[in-house]
């Protein structure tokens, strides 16, 4: 199965409600789709969103990196030698993690098709079922409480509560949500780098003193404030999870050595693909550090790849935040991963099992 050509598309899916964090507000999923054609007529699918506020990647930079640097290296390569293919992707250009992730997802999809197995089985196997949380966007207290109640009524038992706008108001948000759903759902708090270390400690100690025990606090401080992250770890009971502070295995190991995080959030776009994400998971497992699998606001092409990875590394990836298909009005991707409320299941179709993608469009003129 040799690579003969690559193609691009654009996929959009409107969100049920705007996705709001301390960093940004987004109203629709909008992905560059990267397709790899082969001499066996198999097609591999990958995708990547623009995440400029987090990784620095835009749609323009993703397309440019894929078209000008990654694709020329892939033409003529044999998918059977996946390690070589991923090495070519990773070595094609510095940075540009989203583009590399899109290319790796497509290559791994083809690898699964080559062997006639769903991807998770080739990555290590596991039970093909997960349970995800769902995000409660930062908003007015009344809106967040209403969203939390609705999520519980839809069957979600863990809520990712977005915070980081104002520390004192964040306390009020958490108290109100806890009062509404505490007997029905765990609260995972995510400040998206919105607090200082002292603010984070103030918020969490206040909540803890009020009898509120969050399951975790995610990235309470700026990504490069490792000292602040460590300070929070040392001064609260709530487990601290690093997100934007960890893009690769080396950074994960540094945080573990510093004891600056209890949990590490792995995302394919941050890591730059499936192979570097696996490296992060394996480093964390060796050092007995739990992981979460997360995603950007991206289509279920990329989210499905993350599902396969999480199943294959379920011994260390024990928390799941792969809710974007549930945040959209509809899921345009029909593959081997089924998203049904909090439940996620994989069927036996090979690779990512993508049969069709509704509404896949050509790249807009400024990207074509």
Place of tokens 């506020």: 53
**What is the rounded average pLDDT of the residues 213-231?**
97
**What is the rounded average pLDDT of the residues 346-352?**
98
First to last CA, the chain: 27
Residues 310/141, Cβ–Cβ less than 8 Å? no
Taking the CA atoms of the chain, what radius of gyration do you get in angstroms?
A: 20
Model pLDDT for residues 308-341, shown as the tens digit of each residue:
999 999 999 999 999 999 999 999 999 999 999 9
Q: Which of 9, 3, 25, 65 is closest to 272 using CA atoms? A: 65
Q: b/e string for 251-274 if b means 16 or more Cβ within 10 A? A: bbbebbeeebbbbbbbbbbbbbbb
Residues 6+ apart with CB under 8 A from 292: 241, 263, 264, 265, 266, 317, 318, 319, 320, 321
What was the pLDDT predicted at 17?
81
Q: Is the pLDDT of residue 20 over 90?
A: no
Residues 155/134, Cβ–Cβ less than 8 Å? no
Per the structure block, which two tokens stand in for 205? Answer: 């100690």
Model pLDDT for residues 93-152, shown as the tens digit of each residue:
999 999 999 999 999 999 999 999 999 999 999 999 999 999 999 999 999 999 999 999
Q: Is the pLDDT of residue 22 over 70?
A: no
Q: What is the mean pLDDT of the chain?
A: 96
> Going by DSSP bridges, is the β-strand pair 43-49/129-131 parallel, antiparallel, or unpaired?
unpaired
Residues 32/57, Cβ–Cβ less than 8 Å? no
Percent of the chain with pLDDT over 70: 99
Q: Which of 43, 67, 100, 48 is closest to 275 using CA atoms? A: 100
Place of tokens 């040799």: 2
Give the domains, in start order, of the chain with CATH numbers: 3-116 (3.30.390.10), 122-346 (3.20.20.120)
pLDDT band at 21 (very low <50, low <70, confident <90, very high): confident
Q: Which of 307, 220, 276 is closest to 98 using CA atoms? A: 276
Task: Give the residue numbers annotated as catalytic, written as ranges.
Answer: 162, 267
Query: What is the reported pTM?
Result: 0.96
């Amino acid at each position: 199965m040799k690579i003969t050509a690559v193609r691009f598309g654009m996929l959009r899916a409107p969100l049920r409600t705007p996705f709001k964090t301390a960093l940004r507000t987004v109203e629709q999923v909008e992905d560059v789709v990267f397709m790899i054609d082969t001499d066996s007529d198999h097609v591999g699918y990958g995708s990547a969103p623009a995440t400029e506020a987090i990784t620095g990647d835009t749609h323009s930079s993703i397309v440019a990196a894929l078209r000008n640097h990654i694709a020329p290296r892939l033409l003529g390569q044999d998918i059977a030698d996946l390690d070589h293919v991923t090495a070519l992707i990773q070595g094609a250009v510095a940075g540009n993690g989203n583009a590399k992730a899109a290319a790796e997802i497509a290559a791994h999809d083809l690898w699964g098709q080559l062997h006639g197995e769903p991807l998770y089985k080739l990555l290590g196997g596991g039970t093909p079922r997960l349970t995800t949380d769902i995000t409660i966007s930062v908003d007015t207290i009344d809106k967040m409480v209403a969203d939390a109640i609705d999520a519980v009524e839809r069957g979600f038992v863990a809520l990712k509560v977005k915070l980081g706008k104002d520390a004192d108001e964040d306390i009020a948000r958490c108290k109100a949500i806890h009062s509404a759903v505490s007997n029905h759902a765990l609260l995972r708090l995510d400040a998206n780098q919105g607090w200082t270390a002292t603010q984070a400690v103030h918020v969490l100690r206040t909540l803890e003193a009020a009898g509120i025990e969050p399951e975790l606090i995610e990235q309470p401080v700026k990504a490069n404030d490792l000292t602040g992250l460590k300070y929070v770890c040392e001064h609260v009971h709530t487990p601290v999870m690093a997100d934007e502070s960890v893009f690769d295995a080396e950074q994960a190991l540094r945080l573990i050595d510093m004891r600056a995080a209890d949990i590490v959030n792995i995302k394919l776009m941050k890591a730059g693909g499936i192979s570097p994400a696996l490296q992060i998971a394996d480093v964390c497992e060796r050092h007995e550090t739990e992981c979460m699998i997360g995603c950007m606001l991206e289509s279920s092409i990329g989210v499905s790849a993350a599902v396969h990875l999480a199943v294959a590394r379920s011994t260390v990836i024990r928390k799941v935040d792969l809710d974007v298909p549930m945040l959209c009005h509809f899921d345009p991707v029909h593959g081997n991963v089924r998203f049904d409320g909090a439940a996620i299941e994989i069927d036996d179709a090979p690779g990512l099992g993508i049969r069709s993608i509704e509404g896949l469009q050509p790249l807009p003129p400024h990207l074509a």
